[in-house]
Structure 1
Amino acid sequence: MPITLYELVGRDEGRPFSPHCWKTAFALAHKGLDFTTVPTRFLDVPAIENGVTRHVPLIRDGDRLVSDSFEIALYLEQAYPERPTLFAGEGGVALSRFVERWSTSTLHSFIGKALLLDIHDRLGEADQAYFRKSREARIGATLEAASQQREERLEAFRASLAPLRGMVEAQAFIGGEAPLFADHIVAGALQWARVISPFRLLEESDPVAVWFERCLDLYGGLGRQVAAAA
């Protein structure tokens, strides 16, 4: 029986956009596991699986429910040890935890503000009202104001990617010659931006952009199954 993945969508059910859900989709594909997806909107999340979680991703694997993208990856590694590894040992788990924190502080902190208005505009009317109220309370500004500041902050954001840039110039993936969950963490954040907004985060020649293109080609081009936002 395929694993079920609940993933976040807006008006277009064929355009899942959560970075955390993309991490999980990449992890499932990395393991070579069959899975089906359940498009889930913001206001639908509290009702899924009898209210077991407040956030997606959530997977159902038989009788087992697991939420949180990192916990899901750990579960998949333990439950399916015979399949391609997501971590390559405890060192890879530690690496992925570091990358998760770096991604949150560097990628999510910029993308999460810069693209708020783009995300809002792709939601249904009820979700738009929820999203605007909750995000404007969180950032202390309007979505429009946050969007207007992104051009000013873009150069500094690109400069902040120097550690990742140096790594992927020297090797194919964060995991080395092959991807690990650490790659999926960062690719999930960039995929979030790619599918939700036409705003260009990276120049095409940037080694990070070249690495991301390699990630989009993985698993039969899973990431490319959703076209870039236009």
Structure 2
Amino acid sequence: MLKRFAPLVPLALVTLLFGCAAHTPAPQQEQNQQVINSVTAQSSSVLLQEAIEQEAASDKELASFGNGKSYQLPVLADSILERGMSLIGTRYRFGGTSEAGFDCSGFIGYLFREEAGMNLPRSTREMINVDAPLVTRSDLKPGDLLFFATNGRRGRVSHAGIYLGDNQFIHSSSRRSGGVRIDSLGDSYWSKTFIEAKRALAMAPDSTPTIVTARK
């Protein structure tokens, strides 16, 4: 409870001191300002340290995920996304899993298989259940899988894409929208239908292909 309201302490102090400023002698005003600066600096330092510790804990958890397997996210993500970008404009094809045409999960499965040696579940309903770390929207990294509910059923996954960075993602959208393309997660439609994200690359093998199964 104290941590939650800690940022408000310097603000309350600032408000109190400035509320009396018009009736305070000049030397006292300078002393008050020094107190304000000191309290604000200390509060900012504590908040920064907490943020660093939380980020370190998150990174440690991800690094240890998968029984100590090498966490190759940056290199594999680059390979996957570079290959994906080269396929922009490839037509949408329901059930498609090759460069002749992809549906959304077929596109993801193709890239992860070809570039990371991972065989992901075929459908989005199975893919969303892979045993991989959940990632908050504020902590997305390139290569993370994004899941959406686009069929009007709230919370029921029906579409997926791969996060690029800078709030952008790549996916095989639909026949009408031109197949493989890039969209913004900040667009109202995608922001509203977004369900969750997973870091499937945390389960990437060191060198040999693996099958990533969904939880029962």
| Same fold at TM > 0.5 | no
TM-score category of the 2 structures, normalised to the smaller one: under 0.3
Q: Which has the larger radius of gyration?
A: 2
The normalised TM-score by structure 1 is 0.24
Larger proportion of helix: 1
